[in-house]
């Protein structure tokens, strides 16, 4: 049996008793046309290994395999999903490895060979943490070429937000510093089973060969976290803890000490991180 001949996902869910668990962020995509569309958004998979987090009953996994992924590594926390995923693995011999575990604990490089792309309908409770980890390795470029990720729409908007908007903050800076990030598609809540309370969006991020502006990732993260933790305060107040002469350093990179974080663009945040690091 090939991947295309596997039974509909509603049958798979019924056969394996996969009632959705809220604590695991389980909102499944059962429309295989939709999961195929998301798999295509991940780019040309034919020469790539793909990392998928939270395959659940395997709708997106099937799409990734059907799109020709060389290999897929799927990390799933819920043991109840493993038999359904084993059926997909049997239909794609040698191309699907399933790890039962927490995505936060697995080193994908021990299982995959570059070039690697990441594609996932993420569990909402670990989605942001995984994204920040993918964006902040000490060295760049990272092990992955692209990330194609489903988020709650409000989180997707934070990733692509521009200065001056309410959504602009740490996620926008970290994502736009080292990737090209865009919303590829928005989905209504009813596309999922069960339907969550909010709409969702797929974000596609492509790793840049080098960061847009030089900065130490640890220092930049610290500066941005401090600036946006108290986003309504003036920067001279919110950043006071970073350096005793923070006002001089702000002025030296063209930022008014009375500005608020929301008004500062990526280039000036990187310049400020360099000024704070003393380079
Ligand atoms: N990919 C499937 C789909 O599109 O229908 C399921 C998506 S559902 C939003 C999230 C999946 O992530 C669930 O199957 C859940 O069990 C799994 N999950 C939750 N926390 C996890 C973690 N820490 N590590 C790995 N998988 C996790």
Using one digit for the tens of pLDDT, what is the confidence trace for 197-244? 999 999 999 999 999 999 999 999 999 999 999 989 999 999 999 999
Using one digit for the tens of pLDDT, what is the confidence trace for 15-69? 999 999 999 999 999 999 999 999 999 999 999 999 999 999 999 999 999 999 9
Q: Which atom of ligand 1 is nearest to the CA of 124?
A: 9
Q: What is the ipTM of this complex?
A: 0.99
Per-residue pLDDT at 262 exceeds 90? yes
The residues facing 75 across adjacent strands are 53, 99
Q: Which atom of ligand 1 is nearest to the CA of 30?
A: 5
Model's pTM, two decimal places? 0.96
Same domain as 232, residue 195: no
The residues facing 33 across adjacent strands are none
Domain span including residue 254? 217-277
Same domain as 193, residue 96: yes
Same domain as 232, residue 200: no
Same domain as 139, residue 42: yes
Return the SS3 of 167. coil
Same domain as 252, residue 116: no
Report the CATH number that the domain containing residue 22 is assigned in CATH: 3.40.50.150
Same domain as 126, residue 225: no
Question: Which of 207, 233, 258 is the C-terminal boundary of a domain?
Answer: 207
Report the CATH number that the domain containing residue 273 is assigned in CATH: 1.10.8.100
Same domain as 221, residue 118: no
Q: Which atom of ligand 1 is nearest to the CA of 55?
A: 1
Asked if residue 27 belongs to a known ligand binding site, the reply is: yes
Question: Which of 157, 180, 207 is the C-terminal boundary of a domain?
Answer: 207
Query: Sheet harboring 116-121: ordered strands across?
Result: 96-100, 71-76, 49-53, 116-121, 144-152, 200-207, 179-187
Residues with CB under 6 A from ligand 1: 24-29, 53-56, 59-60, 75-78, 81, 102-104, 121, 123, 126
CA distance 274 to 223: 10
| 71 CA to centre of ligand 1 in angstroms | 19
| 17 CA to centre of ligand 1 in angstroms | 16
Question: Which of 207, 226, 245 is the C-terminal boundary of a domain?
Answer: 207
| 171 CA to centre of ligand 1 in angstroms | 22
Asked if residue 102 belongs to a known ligand binding site, the reply is: yes
Asked if residue 68 belongs to a known ligand binding site, the reply is: no
CA distance 125 to 150: 12
Asked if residue 29 belongs to a known ligand binding site, the reply is: yes
Same domain as 226, residue 172: no
| 206 CA to centre of ligand 1 in angstroms | 23
In a domain, 212, yes or no: no
Same domain as 267, residue 199: no
Which residue's CA lies nearest to atom 11 of ligand 1? Answer: 54
In a domain, 103, yes or no: yes
In a domain, 37, yes or no: yes
Domains identified in the chain, total number: 2
In a domain, 251, yes or no: yes
Same domain as 150, residue 51: yes
Using one digit for the tens of pLDDT, what is the confidence trace for 84-128? 999 999 999 999 999 999 999 999 999 999 999 999 999 888 999
Same domain as 192, residue 227: no
How many residues are there in the chain? 279
Provide long-range contacts, Cβ within 8 A and 24+ apart, for 158-165: 159/131, 159/203, 159/205, 160/203, 163/262, 163/263, 163/264, 163/265, 163/266, 164/262, 164/263, 165/262
Mutate to test the pocket of ligand 1, among 8, 17, 24 (most ligand atoms within 8 A of CB): 24
| 97 CA to centre of ligand 1 in angstroms | 16
Same domain as 34, residue 138: yes
Per-residue pLDDT at 279 exceeds 60? no
């Amino acid at each position: 049996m090939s991947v295309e001949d596997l039974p509909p996902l509603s049958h798979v869910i019924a056969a394996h008793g996969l009632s959705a668990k809220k604590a695991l962020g389980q909102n499944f995509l059962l429309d295989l046309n939709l999961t195929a569309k998301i798999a295509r958004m991940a780019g040309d998979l034919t020469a790539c290994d793909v990392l998928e987090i939270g395959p659940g009953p395997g709708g997106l996994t099937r799409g990734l395999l059907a799109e020709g992924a060389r290999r897929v590594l799927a990390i799933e926390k819920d043991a109840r999903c493993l038999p359904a995923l084993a059926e997909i693995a049997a239909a794609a011999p040698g191309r699907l490895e399933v790890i039962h575990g927490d995505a936060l604990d697995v080193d994908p490089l021990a299982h995959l060979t570059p070039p690697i792309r990441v594609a996932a309908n993420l569990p909402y409770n670990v989605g942001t943490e995984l994204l920040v980890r993918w964006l902040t390795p000490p060295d760049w470029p990272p092990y992955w070429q692209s990330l194609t990720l489903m988020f709650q729409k409000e989180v997707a908007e934070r990733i692509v937000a521009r200065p001056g908007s309410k959504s602009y903050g740490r996620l926008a800076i970290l994502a736009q510093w080292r990737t090209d990030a865009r919303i590829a598609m928005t989905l209504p809540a009813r596309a999922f089973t069960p339907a969550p309370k909010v709409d969702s969006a797929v974000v596609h991020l492509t790793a840049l060969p080098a960061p847009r502006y030089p900065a130490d990732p640890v220092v930049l993260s610290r500066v941005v976290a401090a600036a946006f933790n108290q986003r309504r305060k003036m920067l001279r107040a919110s950043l006071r803890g970073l350096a005793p002469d923070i006002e001089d350093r702000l002025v030296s990179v063209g930022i008014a000490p009375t500005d608020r974080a929301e008004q500062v663009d990526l280039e000036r945040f990187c310049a400020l991180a360099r000024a704070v690091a003393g380079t």
